């Protein structure tokens, strides 16, 4: 089964267990709105690609790890879009959850989407108890304190911010968890895979930063220029667009180089390169590279 189909089916199965008949219906609708239709699903794709490179001998646990990371990503988007943070009215080309369902249901939908990953892991972990604790440690650590998404987002509330730490925690943590948990779910050598996720996560945030300055609101499906409006740390603003482009290219090279030699290595290197092209299309990158 191609990964994307496998991911959508696993996400559907996870939501089906959460939004059973009798569940508060508006919450169920808000949660579904936050997860479908999805974005690029890059985190779960990365997680499954690594699990496959490591043998994928417990596919239900690989699926659970992949789904968990995507749901946590969706949760962070819902809470980031709240009026007290980005106050974004659109997301992925449709109304943001708080715009469509109100602020209260957006808070609760985000909460539910933080919990559901652990319900999914518990279910899959029953059949693979020896691997559950490691996967759980990775997934929970990627979103919690001291260094996960939530901790990263909290730097936006601090007077002094390290740009690198902010990026690493807010975005890098989930990418790193995708490669580490993918390896752990399949019984692979988790540490050998950490670098790939770490570099790709930095590249991703770097691209977001570039696009935030460059792109128009229609192209991204969400309001842009918000980093500047909110006074957030940004390499593109601090060092200029050509330098930010050079930084992005360097991060992508590091990610490609970090793929360990294994039967799945060519597929993974191709995934990194195609993702880089999706993030910063050639027509956007070329003039910046020329100016560098």
Positions that interact with a copy of itself (CB under 8 A) = 17-20, 22-28, 31, 75, 79, 82, 84-85, 102-105, 107-108, 110-112, 114-116, 118-119, 121-123, 125-126, 129-130, 132-134, 136-137, 139-141, 143-148, 150-158, 165
Q: How many CB atoms lie within 10 A of CB 61?
A: 26
Q: Which is nearer to a copy of itself, 50 or 114 (CB)?
A: 114
Q: Which is nearer to a copy of itself, 31 or 280 (CB)?
A: 31
Q: How far is the CB of 155 from a copy of itself (least distance, A)?
A: 5
Q: How far is the CB of 98 from a copy of itself (least distance, A)?
A: 9
Q: Which is nearer to a copy of itself, 110 or 260 (CB)?
A: 110
Q: How far is the CB of 204 from a copy of itself (least distance, A)?
A: 21
DSSP string, 126-157: TT-HHHHHHHHHHHHHHHSTTTSHHHHHHGGG
Q: How far is the CB of 26 from a copy of itself (least distance, A)?
A: 5
Q: Which is nearer to a copy of itself, 40 or 115 (CB)?
A: 115
C-alpha 26/C-alpha 100 separation (Å) is 11
189: left (phi over 0), alpha (psi -120 to 50) or beta: beta
C-alpha 119/C-alpha 114 separation (Å) is 10
C-alpha 252/C-alpha 140 separation (Å) is 26
Q: How far is the CB of 240 from a copy of itself (least distance, A)?
A: 28
Angle between helices 129-143 and 173-185 (to 10 degrees): 180
Task: Please answer whether residues 26 and 101 qualify as being in contact, where contact means their C-beta atoms are separated by less than 8 angstroms.
Answer: yes
Q: How far is the CB of 27 from a copy of itself (least distance, A)?
A: 4
Q: How far is the CB of 120 from a copy of itself (least distance, A)?
A: 9
Q: Which is nearer to a copy of itself, 127 or 286 (CB)?
A: 127
Helix (H) or strand (E) segment spanning residue 170: none
Q: How far is the CB of 55 from a copy of itself (least distance, A)?
A: 20
Q: Which is nearer to a copy of itself, 125 or 260 (CB)?
A: 125
Phi, psi of 94 (to 5 degrees): -130, 175
C-alpha 257/C-alpha 268 separation (Å) is 11
C-alpha 121/C-alpha 283 separation (Å) is 41
Runs of H (alpha helix) within 230-291: 235-239, 241-257, 265-279, 282-291
Q: Which is nearer to a copy of itself, 111 or 249 (CB)?
A: 111
DSSP string, 29-58: HHHHHHHSS-S--HHHHHHHHHHHHTT-SS
Q: Burial of 159 by CB count in 10 Å (0-12 exposed, 13-18 middle, 19+ buried)?
A: exposed
């Amino acid at each position: 089964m191609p990964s994307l189909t496998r991911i959508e089916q696993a996400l559907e199965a996870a939501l089906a267990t959460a939004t059973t008949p009798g569940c508060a219906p508006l919450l169920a609708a808000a949660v579904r709105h936050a997860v479908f239709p999805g974005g690029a699903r890059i985190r779960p794709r990365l997680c499954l690609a690594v699990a496959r490179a490591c043998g994928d001998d417990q596919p239900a646990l690989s699926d659970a790890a992949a789904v968990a990371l995507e749901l946590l990503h969706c949760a962070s988007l819902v809470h980031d879009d709240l009026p007290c943070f980005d106050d974004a009215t659109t997301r992925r080309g449709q109304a943001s959850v708080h715009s469509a369902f109100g602020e209260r249901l957006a808070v609760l939908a985000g909460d539910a989407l933080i919990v559901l990953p652990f319900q999914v892991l518990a279910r899959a972990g029953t059949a693979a108890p020896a691997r559950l604790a490691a996967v759980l440690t990775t997934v929970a650590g990627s979103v919690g304190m001291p260094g996960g998404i939530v901790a990263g987002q909290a730097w936006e509330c601090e007077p002094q911010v390290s740009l690198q730490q902010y990026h690493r925690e807010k975005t890098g943590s989930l990418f790193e968890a995708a490669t580490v948990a993918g390896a752990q779910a399949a019984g692979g050598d988790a540490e050998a895979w950490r670098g790939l996720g770490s570099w790709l996560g930095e590249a991703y945030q770097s691209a977001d930063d570039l696009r935030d300055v460059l792109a128009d609101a229609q192209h991204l499906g969400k309001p842009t220029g918000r980093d500047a409006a909110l006074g957030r740390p940004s390499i593109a603003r601090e060092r200029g667009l050509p330098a930010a482009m050079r930084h992005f290219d360097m991060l992508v090279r590091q990610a490609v180089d970090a793929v360990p030699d294994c039967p799945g290595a060519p597929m993974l290197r191709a995934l990194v390169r195609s993702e880089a092209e999706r993030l910063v299309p050639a027509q956007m990158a070329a003039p910046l590279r020329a100016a560098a």
